[in-house]
Structure 1
Amino acid sequence: MELMGEKKMVEAHVLVFPFPLQGHVTTMLRLADAISYAGLRLTFLNTDYNHALLDRFAASHQRLSRRPRFRFISIPDGLPGDNPRTMRNFVELEESLRTRSLEFYKKVLRGDGDGWPPVSCVVVDGLMPFAMDAAQELGIPAIVFRTISGACIWAYLCIPRLVEAAEFPFPEKADWDDPINCVPGMEGYLRRRDLPGFFRYTSAAGEKLIRIVGDVTADSLRARGGLILNTSEHLEGPILSHIRSLFPLTYAVGPLHALSASVTSFSASGSLWAEDRSSILWLDAQPDRSVVYVSFGSIAELSTAQFLEFWHGFVDSGHRFLWVLRPGLVAGWEGVPPEVDRVKMVSWVPQEEVLRHRAVGCFLTHCGWNSTLESLVAGIPMVCWPLLADQQINSRLVGEVWRVGIDMKDIYSREAVERAVKAAMESETAEALRRAAAEMAVEVGRSVEEGGCARLEFEKLIRDMSALGSGSH
């Protein structure tokens, strides 16, 4: 019997809602896995389109579907079946979610007699402020999750400082190697060319877009439940200090793929695409540290000219390479590169497994945050060629701050590609990079184990989520 004045205990029930793009879904599914394994009831909300892909390709979906107190729910995204749903269609996808999917989302939040306890908090992707607002309007605390680096978040939050210092919009004929000194914590290494990709847009529409990006980032600070970042004190401690000066309730729980594996003692793919395992068999036949692994991620596009320069640079380097050539990577390309014995090209791979393979010597990457973290955990040096969003600033961290790779942003001649690959694979520079990458892997690995900084942050997150369910918030 409940005593007078005693609060009724309600089971904590967390709902996780990612933006429906590959890198967002897979990372937030890792977070959901770890939260559920820690004992909290969890609903993973996805779009119908991506739910079907998870069901078809993701091993983690099959495993989690059998876990008690974990469920997958999907809602329509409002787009026709033939819509490509890529980053190129971001505005259309976001608008459809905000207008056509919102009522379905609210219905899930309300429960409507589904037999599960009420949602006690939501973890929503920071690209969807409307999902945060809808939850908080219903009295449900929202926690915002951002899939980009802390450095990129901080740069976005510093847009007013950049405008005040006349650094943005970029001055006409500006030297892109000039230092940027108005982003606290990055004064010693940030250059104009290292600012996130959106800053490079020079049209009025582009300037408007970056201000929208800044506003969306600032919206994250309105989340009553806090902010989750896929990073750690070891990786971005000084930047986290600045972010916490604005938003103290910030949980740094990354790298999430390593944390989830440590917490659950299990690692499985959450990919939305079919993985070609012939890549692993091919690597098995190669000598140790002899292969350059190449991937530009799930959303980037290369021109035919860029693709051919990279191709010739790789071939001229004399090294073996495994290249992820996914459909749509090369705009307008319909040809097939000539066959070369030491080259393996596939449409998609189990990337974490590839990076852990003894045959891989370095990773030529676009420096998306997930790929960067996976390389850091595996202890593999990087050659960075960033294209958009947080990739420019991530590559500067890799090359200048952590010194575990070579930053070759804004250059793609075959000669530059050949030089960078050789430097990362066969020179004294290569030895230094390998040592630094190995040391980083050890430190990052410790951060997700018992007593490590990321594990402690995650445990605090679980306690705070549980308190939201108990009614003590």
Structure 2
Amino acid sequence: MEKQSKAYGVHVLALPYPSQGHVNPMFQFCKRLASKGTKATLAITNYISKSTRPKSDTVAIDTFSDGYDDGGFAQAGDVDKYLARLEKTGSKTVAELIQKYQKSSHPIDCIVYDSFLPWALDVAKELGILGACFFTQACAVNYVYYYAHHGLLTLPVSSLPVEIPGFPPLHLPDMPSFIYVYGSYPGYFHMVLNQFSNVDKADFVLVNSYYKLEEKVIDAMKEVCPMLTIGPTIPSFYLDNRVENDNNYELNLFELDLSSNCINWLDTKPAGSVIYIAFGSMVSLSEKQIEEIAMGLKNSNFNFLWVAKASDQEKLPKNFVEDDNGLFVTWSPQLKVLSNKALGCFFSHGGWNSTIEALSMGVPMVVMPQWTDQTTNAKLVEDVWNVGLRVKVDENGIVRREEIEGCLREVMEGERGKEMKKSASKWKDLAKEAVSEGGTSDTNINDFISKLKKKPQ
């Protein structure tokens, strides 16, 4: 077995939290590992496997059970119920998966597990393999949760502004929503704090970011939690193009509208003239909010491409119809859209994957955060990276049409918008630099692989 093991170097099992925003970065990291001669296997739930039937030419795909093989999270219907069974059943079936490989010619050397699944490290330790914790969200967000978990940030927050090393002063709306609106989504709040329950016992800590992007926060957090930045984890085609045939994410948990003609439509528009609107797969906006967005767009008179579920499109004002200025789709190939020359602004919810994609494509943003990490990401977009604006919410929790129109105009054609475009271009170059040969992320991935190879076989 020793000779066979050396033939492939090392074998990494990657275990993402079973949602789109967590599967994508982990899958992309696996592709990077595979491109460097490491055997990588992505472990997804039985339900995701059955419903998506994923394939990859470079990454092996295997399955485990979250206890809800017929419907995943929707079958559970409750976050506490889902997470409890995910841990109980997942611990057992992931252990069985690892043991299956340990009897083969390519045993697992290390499990790279999503930080939302700290129980996976216990499985790794019990089976005598290495464990690498993988933080999907921004390092800045992770550090806020670290402070909250260790009692360094008193909750609920009463003393403002909050001072955390590496950050500008933070006010309540700048904090992750579980802290900003204290007591909201307690199941998820427990999950994000529990990321740090045993991270000090992990053999590696990996972060889906790149050093230059969060330099001050990373330097501060490294003092208490040594880590390796391995991002941005987007397809290589849009960055360094060193990973062969890596031009999309390959695994989609939602039905795709492959008939969408949005790229052809974008190609007919002048450079920098289109606003791209997409609020992620989990956001469901009220009819009033959709009306305000629609009228803000109409009043701005800019070209727009709006990704909206059919149920959201039904909430549009009756007199709001498509014309030469706008196009509605239920799904879009987001990276192709963001890299299109017609794009002038991304109107986003501020999810981390969407944010890092926009940064990597050099597209300025208007951000309308909804929950979880998005509020803190919006703070970074506006006040740290200077690549966009965060919309202001009124006393009823609605972003009004005048606010939307004003922010879009400022980013598209205002004086601040010009500076944002320059900043966006800088971050685009630094993202490419991070993953280039010898770049920080590339060096850290090489370092990770090198340390795995030194493990006794």
User: Scaled by the length of structure 2, what TM-score is found?
Assistant: 0.89
Find the aligned partners of 1:105 and 1:142 in 2 and give their Cα distance.
Answer: 13
Match for 1:213: what amino acid? V
TM-superposed CA distance for 1:156, in Å, is 0.6
TM-superposed CA distance for 1:189, in Å, is 3.8
Find the aligned partners of 1:129 and 1:327 in 2 and give their Cα distance.
Answer: 37
Find the aligned partners of 1:362 and 1:133 in 2 and give their Cα distance.
Answer: 44
TM-superposed CA distance for 1:353, in Å, is 0.7
Find the aligned partners of 1:86 and 1:322 in 2 and give their Cα distance.
Answer: 33
Residues 213-271 of structure 1, C-alpha deviation per residue, up to 9 Å, x if partnerless? Answer: 32323433321x211101111001111112211122x1101111156863414322333
Matched, 1:235 2:213: yes
Find the aligned partners of 1:337 and 1:19 in 2 and give their Cα distance.
Answer: 41
1:190 pairs with one of 170, 179, 183: 170
Match for 1:351: what amino acid? Q
Matched, 1:374 2:357: yes
Match for 2:253: what amino acid? L
Find the aligned partners of 1:409 and 1:217 in 2 and give their Cα distance.
Answer: 32
Find the aligned partners of 1:232 and 1:239 in 2 and give their Cα distance.
Answer: 11
Question: 1:124, 1:143 within 8 Å by CA — same for their partners in 2?
Answer: yes
Find the aligned partners of 1:243 and 1:289 in 2 and give their Cα distance.
Answer: 37
Instruction: Give 3-state SS (helix, strand or coil) of 2:272's partner.
Output: coil
Find the aligned partners of 1:87 and 1:301 in 2 and give their Cα distance.
Answer: 20
Distance 1:226 1:329, change over 3 A: farther
Q: In the alignment, which residue of structure 2 is the partner of 1:385? A: 368
Match for 1:264: what amino acid? V
Find the aligned partners of 1:357 and 1:87 in 2 and give their Cα distance.
Answer: 40
Q: In the alignment, which residue of structure 1 is the partner of 2:322? A: 340
Matched, 1:97 2:76: no
Find the aligned partners of 1:292 and 1:140 in 2 and give their Cα distance.
Answer: 48
Find the aligned partners of 1:336 and 1:462 in 2 and give their Cα distance.
Answer: 56
Q: In the alignment, which residue of structure 1 is the partner of 2:133? A: 144
Find the aligned partners of 2:310 and 2:75 in 1 and give their Cα distance.
Answer: 12
Q: In the alignment, which residue of structure 1 is the partner of 2:62? A: 73
Q: Which has the higher contact order (CA 8 A, sep 6+)?
A: 1
Distance 1:165 1:150, change over 3 A: closer
5 Å matches for 1:270-289?
Answer: 270=250, 271-273=252-254, 274-276=256-258, 277-289=260-272
Q: In the alignment, which residue of structure 2 is the partner of 1:438? A: 425
Residues 338-378 of structure 1, C-alpha deviation per residue, up to 9 Å, x if partnerless? Answer: 31312211111111110000111000111111111100010
TM-superposed CA distance for 1:194, in Å, is 0.3
Matched, 1:214 2:193: yes
Question: 1:259, 1:455 within 8 Å by CA — same for their partners in 2?
Answer: no
Q: In the alignment, which residue of structure 2 is the partner of 1:58? A: none
Find the aligned partners of 2:69 and 2:235 in 1 and give their Cα distance.
Answer: 36
Question: 2:257, 2:331 within 8 Å by CA — same for their partners in 1?
Answer: yes
Find the aligned partners of 1:112 and 1:226 in 2 and give their Cα distance.
Answer: 22
Find the aligned partners of 2:416 and 2:234 in 1 and give their Cα distance.
Answer: 29
Gaps of 5+ in 1: 56-60
Q: In the alignment, which residue of structure 2 is the partner of 1:169? A: 156
Q: In the alignment, which residue of structure 2 is the partner of 1:252? A: 229
Instruction: Give 3-state SS (helix, strand or coil) of 1:227's partner.
Output: strand
Q: In the alignment, which residue of structure 1 is the partner of 2:442? A: 455
Q: In the alignment, which residue of structure 2 is the partner of 1:180? A: 162
Find the aligned partners of 1:105 and 1:417 in 2 and give their Cα distance.
Answer: 46
Find the aligned partners of 2:297 and 2:169 in 1 and give their Cα distance.
Answer: 29
Find the aligned partners of 2:179 and 2:135 in 1 and give their Cα distance.
Answer: 19
Question: 1:292, 1:321 within 8 Å by CA — same for their partners in 2?
Answer: yes
Q: In the alignment, which residue of structure 2 is the partner of 1:23? A: 21
Matched, 1:293 2:280: no
TM-superposed CA distance for 1:210, in Å, is 3.6
Matched, 1:408 2:391: yes
TM-superposed CA distance for 1:44, in Å, is 1.1
TM-superposed CA distance for 1:179, in Å, is 2.3
Question: 2:43, 2:62 within 8 Å by CA — same for their partners in 1?
Answer: yes
Question: 2:364, 2:388 within 8 Å by CA — same for their partners in 1?
Answer: yes
Find the aligned partners of 2:104 and 2:140 in 1 and give their Cα distance.
Answer: 42
TM-superposed CA distance for 1:429, in Å, is 2.1
Find the aligned partners of 1:396 and 1:269 in 2 and give their Cα distance.
Answer: 27
Match for 1:199: what amino acid? I
Question: 1:169, 1:207 within 8 Å by CA — same for their partners in 2?
Answer: no
Find the aligned partners of 1:444 and 1:279 in 2 and give their Cα distance.
Answer: 26
Q: In the alignment, which residue of structure 2 is the partner of 1:268? A: 248
Matched, 1:421 2:402: no
Deviates more, 1:24-33 or 1:321-330: 321-330
TM-superposed CA distance for 1:442, in Å, is 1.4
Distance 1:48 1:431, change over 3 A: same
Gaps of 5+ in 2: none
Aligned length, in residue pairs? 444
Deviates more, 1:341-350 or 1:205-214: 205-214
Find the aligned partners of 1:451 and 1:164 in 2 and give their Cα distance.
Answer: 36
Distance 1:335 1:53, change over 3 A: farther
Deviates more, 1:267-276 or 1:297-306: 267-276
Question: 1:384, 1:409 within 8 Å by CA — same for their partners in 2?
Answer: no
TM-superposed CA distance for 1:463, in Å, is 1.1
Match for 1:440: what amino acid? W
Distance 1:100 1:87, change over 3 A: closer
Q: In the alignment, which residue of structure 1 is the partner of 2:110? A: 121
Q: In the alignment, which residue of structure 2 is the partner of 1:48? A: 46
